[in-house]
Structure formats: C-alpha cells, structure tokens
Amino acid sequence: MSLRLKVSKVSNESLQNQIFEQVRTMILEETLKAGEPLPSTRMMSEQLGISRNTMTLAYERLEAEGYVDMRKSVGTFVALQVPGVATFTPAGEPPNVDDDGSAPCERIALRSDELKSQALVNASLRRLTADFWPGRPDPNSFPLKMWARLIANCLRSAGAALTEYRDPLGVRELRQAIVDHLRPTRGIMVDAEQVIIVGGSQGGLNLACRLLVTLGSSAFVESPCYQGAAYLFESFGAKLHPVHVDDNGIDVSKLPATQNAICYVTPSHQFPLGVTLSLDRRLELLAWATRTNSYIIEDDYDSDIRYRGAPIAALKALDRCERVIYVGTFSKSMGAGLRIGYVVMPATLFDAARHIKTLTNNGQPWLPQAALADFITNGSYDRHLRRIRHSYQARRETLLAALQKHFGGSTIVGDNAGMHLVWRMPDQLPPANVVEKIALKAGVGVYTLNSGGAVDFGVMRDSDRYLVLGFTAPSEREISIGISRLAAALRSGQSAGKAPRASL
Amino acid sequence: MSLRLKVSKVSNESLQNQIFEQVRTMILEETLKAGEPLPSTRMMSEQLGISRNTMTLAYERLEAEGYVDMRKSVGTFVALQVPGVATFTPAGEPPNVDDDGSAPCERIALRSDELKSQALVNASLRRLTADFWPGRPDPNSFPLKMWARLIANCLRSAGAALTEYRDPLGVRELRQAIVDHLRPTRGIMVDAEQVIIVGGSQGGLNLACRLLVTLGSSAFVESPCYQGAAYLFESFGAKLHPVHVDDNGIDVSKLPATQNAICYVTPSHQFPLGVTLSLDRRLELLAWATRTNSYIIEDDYDSDIRYRGAPIAALKALDRCERVIYVGTFSKSMGAGLRIGYVVMPATLFDAARHIKTLTNNGQPWLPQAALADFITNGSYDRHLRRIRHSYQARRETLLAALQKHFGGSTIVGDNAGMHLVWRMPDQLPPANVVEKIALKAGVGVYTLNSGGAVDFGVMRDSDRYLVLGFTAPSEREISIGISRLAAALRSGQSAGKAPRASL
C-alpha cells in the first residue's frame, strides 16, 4: 500500500508539516480508515525523495496527537480510536453561516453591513503631487533625534517595564505631565489620578461609549460631525441626532430635554468647520447636561495648534458638575503613529472607566508612553509646539494666498487654528465632489466634507460648496503648485465643457 | 474697590493663570456682578506684589474669553453680557448624579458596581522575597540589546510612519511574520489578510466581544476560567455558563444546544489548570459550534512555551467551518509591556472586525509592531523561545524538587508546559486562602485560583486545595528559598496552633 502525498521542497512550510497535514486530513476525512496500516517510513521517504528522518518525525507527531499508533517492529496504523471523526466537517462542505446568512449578524452588535468606520488613510496618496488630506502632521517636523535618544534611554532603564503588566490607566509620569500641560493651556485643574491614557482620541471615544452608550441611547452630534465619532456611536447602537453648527459652534438651543443622552462636541476647533464654541453656548451646554443627566464628550483633538491669541479654556475647565468627558490626543501635535491619547474622566465615572479600560486591553504599550513623558517634562514638547505652530502658520498663509491668487474672493470658514481649513468655493465652480475628481486626475488631493473625514448627514444646505484642505503635511511649494494645478485643471475642465468657468 | 485673590509664586501654575481662574470664578459665581468695575492692573499688581505685566496679561485673557471689557483709559469691567451665568452651577452644589445615583449607571453597559476586571499587578510585590505570581516572563530574559538595535533601525527608517495613520489592522510585515510562525508551530494555514494586530490577547477578546456579545448572549466558559475573559463577557452583558474542566480539558459533552452562543477555551494549556484539550473534544467542540451557529474563542496565550513534545495543533487548525476566533499574544513569550497580540478572524466576520478595530482605536502603535516584525523575521524570536524554554524548564524542575523536598508526595495538575503550575496541596495543609496569607507574612507570594487570576465560580469541589505557582519570573535560587520559607511558615503556623501540621 502507499499514500498519495504531494510535498514541495520550495514551500515555506517544512516537509514534515506538509506530510503531517496531509495524512491528518486523510484520517479525519476517513480516506484512511481506523486501523488501516500506513506505508513504512522507508517506503514513503523513497517515494517522496525525502530523508527518512523527516518522514519519521511526521509519523511521530501524528502519533503524539493521537492520529496513528506506531507499533515497534510491526508498523504504523491509523489509530483505532481517532475519536469524533464522524463529527468532522470536511473543507468542502459550506459552513452553517452560509445556510443562514443572517444568523451571525444577529449576534454582531449591529448587522455588519450597517457598520461603517472612519477613513484614515488616503488610498490615492501615491498618485498625488500635492495632497491636502486633513489631520496629517508634517513628517519632517517629527523630533526624531530627540525621540530616538529618549527611547534609547527608556529602554536602558526599562527593568521589568517591557515584560510585566503595569497600571492599565497608563504610565504615571505621563499622566502627571499631561495634567501639568492641561492646567495652563486649557484651564483644566485635575490631578493625574483622573487621567487615563488611551489609544489616540478614538480610544478615548471608545472608552466613553463603553460607559455611556447602549442600544437606543440618544447621541447628539455636531452637523457636520467627525466620522470616527458618529460611526462609533452608531456601532454601539446609539440613535444619532445631528445638531446644526453655525459660526458660534453647535446650536445648543436646539438640544431637546432628552434624559441620559450624550452630546459629542469639538468646542475649540469644530471638525470639520473650524469654528469655536462660544462661551455662552458652553455654559448652556453644561446646564443642559446637568438638567438632563446627560454627559458631554469634549474632543479637543487639535487645541495645541493655534496661531493667534490664547486658546479659549476647555469646556472641561467650566465643568463643575462632572458632566464632561475630556478627550485629548498627541496624534495631531506629535503623530498618529504613536497612538497616544488621554481622557479626563468625571469622578463619578472613574471606577467604571478603570474597569472598562482594563477589560479592553490591559492598557497601552509602555515604551512610547515613557518616552513621551520625558519629552514633555524636559520641555521638548513646548519647543516642538512652537516650531510646528510657526511652520504650519506659514503653510496656512501660503494656502490662503494661493486660493486668493487663483480663485479670488473665496471664503474661509472657521478660526485661525488647526491643521486644515474649510474653503467655501466660488459659486461658479462645480460641486465639491466634481472638483475632487477633477483635482485627483490632475494629481491634487482636495476633499469634500464627507471624503475629508466628516459626515454631513445630508442636512447641510450648501455642503457641496465646501472643500477640506489640510495644509500641514505638504510643503509651501507643494501647496502653491497644488492650488495652481487645481485652478488649471478646473479651467481646462471648463474649456472642455466639463465644468463651468473658474474665476481668474 | 479691590479683589480678594490668593496667588502663590511657588505653585506649578503661572501667576497669570491663578489670577485668571480666580477672577473668572468670581464672575461666573456672580461674586463680581455684570458691569462691575475691576481694580486697575497697577493697584492689583501692588496688592499682590506681582509684575503689572502679569496682571495685564490675566485681564487680557479674561477679555479674550468674554468675561470682562477693557475700556481704554476708563478701566476694566465685568462684561455686561457674560451670558448664561445664571445657569452656571457653583462647585459647592452636588452634581445631579448624586441626587439620583442610579441614573448614570443605567447608561453604563452594566451598573458600575457590578463591573469587575482582572488582577494584573501584584500589589504586595515589594514586600516579597520570592513571588510566584503567574504569567510573568523573566525580566532578564528580554532580548534588550537586539530589541534596542531594531527599535533604533526602525526609527531611522520611520519616514511618515510615526506621524500618519496606517492600516488599523496592523503592520503588514508583522502580520506576515505571524502567519509564517503559526503555520509550522500551530498548524494554522491562513494568510496575513486574516490577521489583526491587537493590544495583547485582552484586546483580541474585546474585539471578539464587540462582534459577538450583546446583552443576554450566552457565554460558555471553562470552570475555572481566566478572569480577563469572564469579566469581559459579563461587562458586555453576557450570561456566563461555567463548564467543568477535567484532565482532558473542558467537558464538551456538557454544552447544551444553545444557538448563537460563544464558547471561550484555552485548549493548549488550560488557564489555570494547565491541562490540554483532547483531540476528540476539539472535534466535538467544533461540531457543537457548527450545529448551534456559535463561535469558539480560542485563547492560545502561552502555547509557544512547551517543554516536551510538539505542541498539539491549535483548534483553529481543525476549523473548516469558520467557527473559531483564534487569539494569540506576545505578552507571555516576549513581555506584556509590548501590548502586542493578534487575532485570526473567520472570513465571515472579517469585514465587521476591520470596522470595529478601526472604530476602537485606529490600530496599534507602529514602532513596537515594526521592531517585532524584524525580530521574528531575522530569526531572533525562535532563538529567544529556545532560550526561555530552556531556562523556564530548569525553574520548573527546581520548583518541583522544592515542593517534593518540603511537602513530599504532592500533586501537580496539568501538562509540562507554560509559565505556571497548579499545585494540589497535601490534605493536612490549611485551605489555600489561609496558606496564601501565611506565605505573604513570610514574604512569599503564592496564590489561590482566584487571586492567581482565575474565577472558580464556587462550583469546584476542592478549589481550596489548589495554589497557582508562576515559576518564570523568580530565579532558581528565589524559588528554592521561597518554597522552604513557605514550609517553615506553615510549620510555625502549625506549632503556634494556627494551621495543621505540614508534612515534612
């Protein structure tokens, strides 16, 4: 007797494993019946042209796992008691879930076809000469030398920090450095015990959802709103209620007296529109939360990046009734690759938050936290912020000048802050999604509100007039080239009758 | 008129901020009424003994935020239209949540007082001469030099990897390295696209829960079970059904025909008992999942650490019907401080998993992933595993010898594998929780099933006879000393009439 096995010596997989897998499958599918003798290792090794030792090792593993019996000087046999073979489902047979496609979905918090998630990576980046994708720090701005030195120092003094579990709330020194930074810059007076280190602001939003959002919860969000928040709330089964945003931020007067709701806001620099929530609305919003026993999630994603005046204090700085969950991140100021954000939790939610954070992932990696703590405490972070504010402001002005030069009197929405701006295109230009396509053909990345990371809920009157332009990653030169190419593309688009005249 | 302000020059907080905060509070609490004049910067700077410029900056920030009006050559006044002051709740007043304590909890997935999370850090570590806390790699085993070199290399070639968002599923090279490791060692044949990098196995379990567990879901778990799994399932509202574990692992015959359930298992090395799930039960378990349209979560937390024979192939290697979510981690083999684990997802769940992973935290930090990918592909990981297997086996034998010497014929539960063992104490010793206390007094950390990271559900007949002994962190010397001190402490405890005789 012999076995029909196919082995490849060039496969990544060892010969021993190839043999093991194939024989095991024959046994489980009962091509080889219980008690049936197997060819000798000698015969098989000759047949397959492999070393006898390899063949023996494969048989020994089959025996170790109970598939075969090796009887000394008698031979190798399919085990009599390979149990449960009958219940084994061969690969061919389609899994149950296909018989009843809906079944698994019922058990997913939402039907998976309803799940959406935020766009993070610009798929067409490679094809672009100039890309205005928002929220991307200048890669060259990253303080690589200092960072490498701090990382190396941390590693030298790591001790058991790499091998053992630590406080899931985060590295103590980093939590202290953060509160020392929040006090003067954001007016938030808390101590390190109230801070939880998370995986970017998204990790903070997720933590808030685990505490506050269950199926049917009411979530009031800005319209337009950051995708990563809106889609996350939906994934937890929340009902989304978009609330109009004007020049003073979210229109708090539109919030109904719904009890036990959440309200998600970006008060310092609304995403995407860039407006600041006015003081009176901040106070009204806090009063609403207190009245309705609701919680406010304050996403302060880019408040470290302002070009004029002191930033207005955070909503959390006014929070006397423990209604505000404050979410901050280093993804914009340092880089998203670090995946370091933080949450300031109301005392009333803190114990639950500590449990949920532990259950979610046992805390964040130690090394980047430790290095960042040193980076902030040795003053490098403040220096870094001054540097990037300076260069980002120059890029912003270059962008404004280019828009002025090529498109004349066009409008910028929002404050002199952040890493992107929203451009209200002149009325004679085609709709934003058309402009986005024309630009892409010309190797320039400009984005509608939706493709730029926002949800406009289709309720915004003139959303097709707006483009999101991130100006921090491209150089000043790329910015000028990008905008002039955009103008040229729109002109030729028009001359080819594809789009109306661009004002020049 | 003057202002009663207290400023401290030694505070971490700048004088300007101290003044700003105190005046803002007076205005919001209406100690200072709308339109009321404020003392001149000159007067205040003299009163407080600070520079006039500091005082001016504080006033200017108050004006920038709309709290005061500065009228040239007239003076500074509380803004007439500081709006919403009436709705501002002073610090004194208790927040709503206290009036109605239950309200916020309703909105937390579970009442926070029902939330539990796994014990990660040994609080009494500092007081211990020898600690047998389980799941701790030897800190000295960490390949620090190689790691530091790889980290430095990755940083040099980082490009935009630190500053930009990447694929939330993880670094491609690491996912490939993992599948190349899983194929020969675990018999799992998948490609990198099916792998998602997560924050340790806990992050993988959390991802599985977000997909599969909703309020009222049935979760079948091993009894005893790993805390981090049991408490996590409960936090998502699952009903836990403990299933007895014997020498062949979880007793699959006890699983009812509940539809759409999940079953959490640790087949390679049951936590905490250390037994291996037999092949027949593996096949029965897969058949059960297919019959009931349920999913199996396979937690393969320490399968890289075996001291004898080839590891039995993973349950996932037998999964022809896409019923198994396989969770692996580097927390045991490398270190928990890295927070790197991975999940092999059934194709049927993958799209939903990708969305949920993105919504949860936009993916894991880049640097440790990139370094680990290099560490595996350059062969260092296999060398590392051989090294630690060697030294851990020696420690295990030292522990067994010490137990034999001091306690004679005592029993070890489970296989020759992993980083801890479960010791069945001689009957004449006091109950495990008493032994734990006596040992702690003697500076030795030994742990009951519950304090060692497991839940025994109070259904195990003789759980008070078992101690969990992690043997990988303490040195062989510490192990010998620890066990002899334990024996001595139990003797003296007995002679002092506190505990029955320890057999010597």
In a shared domain, residues A374 and A445: no
Cβ contact B286–A141 (<8 Å): no
Contact B160 A166 (CB under 8 A): no
- The answer on pLDDT for A77 being more than 90 is no
Residue A500 has pLDDT above 80, yes or no: no
pLDDT of residue B235: 94
Co-location of A396 and A359 in the same domain: no
CB pairs under 8 A between A and B: 427
Q: Which residue among A107, A163, A200 sits closest to B362, beta carbon to beta carbon?
A: A200
Let me know if residue B502 belongs to a domain. Answer: no
Residues on chain B touching A355 (C-beta within 8 angstroms): 112, 115-117, 231, 235
**Which residue is associated with the tokens 């600690």?**
B131
In a domain, B217, yes or no: yes
Q: Please tell me the distance in Å from A81's CA to the nearest CA on chain B.
A: 9
Least confident of A362-376, B5-19, B255-269: B5-19
Question: Within a domain: residue B504?
Answer: no
| A310 — pLDDT class (breaks 50, 70, 90) | low
pLDDT score of B331: 96
Whether B101 has a pLDDT exceeding 50, the answer reads no
Structure tokens that stand for A270 in this block: 């609304």
Residue finishing a domain among A378, A396, A430 = A378
Q: What is the pLDDT of residue A112?
A: 61
- Residues A354-364: pLDDT tens digits? 999 999 999 99
Q: What is the dihedral of CA A351, A353, A358, A361, to 10 degrees?
A: 180
Residue B3 covered by a domain: no
CA distance B73 to chain A (A): 23
For residue A343, give how far its alpha carbon lies from the nearest alpha carbon of chain B (Å): 13
Helices (H), strands (E): how many in chain B?
A: 15, 18
Q: Given B90, B106, B352, which is nearest A112 (Cβ)?
A: B352
Whether the full predicted model's pTM is greater than 0.90, yes or no, is no
pLDDT band at B83 (very low <50, low <70, confident <90, very high): low
A235 in Cβ contact with A215 (< 8 Å): no
Q: Where are the beta strands (DSSP E) in B276-391?
A: 295-299, 324-329, 341-344
Choose one of A378, A398, A421: the last residue of a domain: A378
Residue B225 pLDDT greater than 70, yes or no: yes
pLDDT digit string, tens, across residues B35-56: 888 888 888 888 888 888 889 8
CATH, residue B457: 3.90.1150.10
Residue A7: how many other CB atoms lie within 10 Å: 19
List all residues of chain B from 447 to 476 with a beta carbon under 8 Å from chain A: 473
A84 to B206: CB separation less than 8 angstroms, yes or no: no
pLDDT in tens, B323-377: 999 999 999 999 999 999 999 999 989 999 999 999 999 999 999 999 999 999 9
Question: Which pLDDT does position A92 carry in this prediction?
Answer: 40
Decide if B243 is inside a domain.
Answer: yes
pLDDT at A108 over 80: no
3-state secondary structure A26-88: HHHCCCCCCCCEECCHHHHHHHHCCCHHHHHHHHHHHHHCCCEEEECCCEEEECCCCCCHHHC
The CATH number of the domain where A71 resides is what?
1.10.10.10
Residue B80 belongs to what domain range?
Answer: 15-112
Q: Which of A67, A215, A359 sits opposite B232 (nearest CB)?
A: A359
CA of residue B96 relative to chain centroid, distance: 32
Q: What is the mean pLDDT of residues A100-122?
A: 61
Domain co-membership, B369 together with B395: no
Q: Is B276 on the interface with A (CB under 8 A)?
A: no
The more confidently predicted of residues A184 and B198 is B198
Same domain, A37 and A59: yes
What's residue A111's pLDDT? 55
The answer on A147 and A284 residing in a single domain is yes
> For chain B, how many structural domains are there in total?
3
| pLDDT 10s digits, A231-276 | 999 999 999 999 999 999 999 999 999 999 999 999 999 999 999 9
Residues of chain A in contact with residue B338, where contact means CB-CB under 8 angstroms, are 162, 365-366
Q: Are residues A397 and A414 in the same domain?
A: yes
Residue, of A472 and B67, whose pLDDT is higher: A472
pLDDT of residue A34: 82
Residue A290 sits in the same domain as residue A425: no
Q: What is the pLDDT of residue B111?
A: 55
Looking at per-residue confidence, does A421 or B111 come out higher? Answer: A421
Nearest to B360 by CA among B197, B178, B240: B197
Tell me how far apart the alpha carbons of residues B27 and B82 are, in angstroms, rounded to a whole number: 8
| Any domain includes B5 | no
Same domain, B79 and B162: no
> Is the CB of residue B249 less than 8 Å from the CB of residue B275?
yes
Residues 98-137, chain B, touching A (beta carbon < 8 A): 98, 100, 103-104, 106-109, 112, 115-118, 120-121, 136-137
Average pLDDT over residues B266-283: 95
Q: Both B181 and B325 in a single domain?
A: yes
Q: For residue A338, what is the domain's CATH number?
A: 3.40.640.10
Residue A6 within a domain: no
> Mean pLDDT throughout A147-152?
97
Burial group, residue B70, by CB count within 10 angstroms (0-12, 13-18, 19+): middle
Q: Is residue B503 part of a domain?
A: no
Q: Model confidence at A503, in pLDDT bands (50, 70, 90)?
A: very low
Residues B401 and B440 in one domain: yes
CB-based contact A199 B85, cutoff 8 Å = no
Q: Using DSSP bridges, classify how beta strands A341-344 and A195-198 pair: parallel, antiparallel or unpaired.
A: antiparallel
pLDDT-above-90 percentage for chain B: 65
pLDDT value, residue A250: 97
Interface test with B, best of A355, A372, A455 (most B CBs within 10 A): A355
pLDDT tens digits, one per residue of A26-44: 888 788 888 888 888 888 8
Contact indicator for A355, B206 with CB cutoff of 8 Å: no
Query: Final residue of a domain: which of B322, B348, B378?
Result: B378
Residues of B in contact with A235 (CB under 8 A): 210, 355-356, 359
Note whether A38 and A147 are same-domain residues.
no
Of the candidate ranges A83-92, A295-304, A466-475, B437-446, the one whose mean pLDDT is the lowest: A83-92
- pLDDT for res A494: 64
Compute the C-alpha angle B322/B326/B330, nearest 5°: 160
